[in-house]
Structure 1
């Protein structure tokens, strides 16, 4: 699937430029030079970039300007990178965020968090 907008009614036509390859969750995708990870995945039909750390509900692009942090992914082993603010690089390895174990549980004296 390629849902890139190559001809915009206001911005005009986009020069396709160089195509780069990267992976997301082990699958190969392509991006145009200057494209963010989020835009490249969206153009490929990928809507879920991670899941909520505790609930496991899907998360994706929300604000697309770096404020909300909903698009956090792991890039080349570095966690919590914003996909909407990071340009694709050749051979980049992107992984979705997954459900994490909850390290703390409520309980104890005065509702304090205890391990």
Structure 2
């Protein structure tokens, strides 16, 4: 039995602490941390980012729900375009059949007269 996937509700926000940025969901559940150090020697020795790098990473993570929503909107628009194209093709076929029936009716009308 599989557990339901967790839902991390938007909007996500970035909270800065000393040496880290924390990304929280709408319920203040911590989702991720981006650690940084202003000490160049510490950054060189460890896996720390600069403050600016960590801030950029945290902001990019926090923007994921907005990006996902935008992609879903785009996919929805793509599906709508496909549906419109299919309807246009059906309409073109119906018009072709109508024109064929008109031509046949005119031909039959001329032979009856």
Q: TM-score, normalised by structure 1?
A: 0.22
* Bigger Rg, structure 1 or 2: 2
Higher share of residues assigned strand: 1
Higher share of residues assigned helix: 2
Q: TM-score, normalised by structure 2?
A: 0.23
